[in-house]
Amino acid sequence: MEPETERLNEHGPDARYEAAIRLCADGILRLLWGEKLINKIFGRATQSHAAGLAIVMHFEALEGLGRRPTLALIQAQMGRSRTLAAFFALLRMAGFVRVEPDPRDRRNQYLVPTETLIVGVRTWILHHVRCCEILGTVPAGHADALLADFGRFGAFMARTRRLVERVRTPLPGGAAWTWFDHFDCGDRIALLLLREHYAKSQSAHDPAEVLFTLDSRDLADHLGVSHSHVRNVINQAQAQGLLRQDRRRHLVALSPRMIEEIRAWHTSFWDTVAEAAVEAEARLRAGASEGSAARGTLAAAEEVHPSAQNGSLPAA
């Protein structure tokens, strides 16, 4: 067992969760910090969920688990047809998806995620897999294994539809995250608040009152949103009882309610990530066993019928 894992186990689930949420917030903010175009395209929950559904359907089809994604299928599952049509047109223009006509009916056009989009989603989801490693719900090193083996990663992604459903469905007890997520770049704003909170809480004298500095102009600039938008989110969060702010000193403190509700949401989300990983690994093992059994059957047949070595067996 790694020394860091031993230390976290000694301190219990709170230490493991805090390590996971710090890794999540820092890793995803690094991924999106300064990426103004990415944040503009994927900063709205509905659009990012639609893109996620298209990627999941793409991998489901590769695994033989479902139909290939089309705009009509995604609209049928998510609604908002005009909004989604414009969004996928933007994704095509930006090089994140391409269209492949169905050779049997060219009116039917498949949405194919490009390598750029797949690499971005892989980086994002593997941050969450690493959080599961910290929590002990997937084996250590599993994220690196998915990164190294694209087939293994594809099998995992083909079993993540529940993740898309999870982020689209409000979670009882996790309302604070859902509340932030309905704003443009609201999830990014919440992650920054969490990152600063947990960074400061390690040295705070009173863990119940962790004050940290919030530079809302810097946050707005790096996310590519207006300063007034960030201030609006923060002010409404205070009105909702999710945080307290000292505007004069640029200080913010998160409420216990916000901390606990976001913990509930992420814990549930990471459980779903781990379930997908376990399911994919079980299927890969079953496939390997079936392949081994088939090879054994063929070898036995070749011993009885040498002609089988040429790729055919005699008629019974």
Question: Quick check: is 30 in a domain?
Answer: yes
Is 153 buried (19+), middle (13-18) or exposed (0-12) by CB count in 10 A?
buried
Identify whether the C-beta of residue 36 lies closer than 8 Å to the C-beta of residue 221: no
Question: Quick check: is 291 in a domain?
Answer: no
Question: Quick check: is 158 in a domain?
Answer: yes
The SS3 of residue 289 is: helix
Question: Quick check: is 34 in a domain?
Answer: yes
The whole domain housing 229 covers 7-257
Residue 173: is its pLDDT beyond 70? Answer: yes
Cα distance between residue 103 and residue 109, in whole Å: 9
Cα distance between residue 139 and residue 290, in whole Å: 24
pLDDT digits (tens, 9 = 90+) for 239-292: 999 999 988 888 999 999 999 999 999 999 999 999 999 999 999 988 766 555
Question: Quick check: is 24 in a domain?
Answer: yes
Residue 1: is its pLDDT beyond 50? Answer: no
pLDDT at residue 12, as a whole number: 62
Question: Quick check: is 138 in a domain?
Answer: yes
Tokens of 202: 């390690």
pLDDT at residue 203, as a whole number: 57
pLDDT at residue 306, as a whole number: 42
Q: Where are the alpha helices (DSSP H) in 63-114?
A: 71-78, 81-94
Domain count, the chain: 1
Question: Quick check: is 161 in a domain?
Answer: yes
- Rounded mean pLDDT of 163-183? 85
Stated pTM of the model: 0.84
pLDDT digits (tens, 9 = 90+) for 57-82: 999 999 999 999 999 999 998 876 77
Question: Quick check: is 288 in a domain?
Answer: no
Distance from the Cα of residue 163 to its chain's centroid? 7
The SS3 of residue 208 is: coil
